[in-house]
Structure 1
């Protein structure tokens, strides 16, 4: 392990310390490592669109919207190579939440997620993508 020494403005240091405490890190080093891993992971996905990743795609949809549920299930079957698992829950009479665990090349995972989120009846959603490293 290497030791890095950095200098930052007082306001930035105070904001960072607040973040460290709010998120429950034991120390600043662990918080800094997490921030660095996140940025490096994003850089990998940008530089290597076919880098392997895992992701969760969570979205809300109206199951009474004509054919939405069937279209979403068909899309998952059509992309069975990317779709590891899904979880479905009913939030109310019309509203459902679904979370899909995805795995594959980042560009394909992102494209599939965008297709799902663009479907009529899908109200909103979010993709959380994590690049896989060699570790």
Structure 2
């Protein structure tokens, strides 16, 4: 592990310590590491818009909205290869929450999320995208579908 020292003016140090306490970090190093991870992931997104990512898309919608469920299903089916999993929950008589876990090229994942969020009747949509490093996946078994 590498160590380095930084200097902060008193006002910035105080604000940073308040942030650390509010977020529950046990020390400044943990907070700095998280901030660097977020910043570097954002820089990687800017640099490599077609690089691999994982994402969590969440949105609330009124299931009584005319044909909205069908429109959402069409969007999801059109880009089914991006979807890892979908969770659907009924919040009340009118509203549902869906959370969709996504994996794929960053540009395609963002475009998919934006299409869902932009649908008339979708409320409170947000997506959290995490750039990931491509790596080989070897552990002795295949992920190919088994024949039934």
Distance 1:109 1:83 in 2: 9
- 1:46 — aligned with what? 46
Alignment length, in residue pairs? 135
Distance 1:121 1:72 in 2: 10
- After the TM superposition, list the runs of 4 or more consecutive aligned residues in structure 1 that deviate by more than 2 angstroms: none
Distance 2:51 2:10 in 1: 38
5+ residue gaps, structure 2:
136-148
Q: Tell me the alpha carbon deviations over residues 101-123 of structure 1, each in whole angstroms, 9 at most, x when there is no partner.
A: 01111111000111111111112
5+ residue gaps, structure 1:
none
Displacement after TM superposition at 1:133 (Å): 2.3
Displacement after TM superposition at 1:47 (Å): 0.8
**Are 1:10 and 2:7 counterparts?**
no
- 1:95 — aligned with what? 95
Q: TM-score, normalised by structure 1?
A: 0.95
Displacement after TM superposition at 1:124 (Å): 2.5
Does the CA contact (< 8 Å) of 2:103 and 2:109 recur in 1? Answer: yes
- 1:20 — aligned with what? 20
Q: TM-score, normalised by structure 2?
A: 0.87
Displacement after TM superposition at 1:91 (Å): 1.0
Distance 1:54 1:84 in 2: 9
Displacement after TM superposition at 1:22 (Å): 1.6
Displacement after TM superposition at 1:73 (Å): 1.5
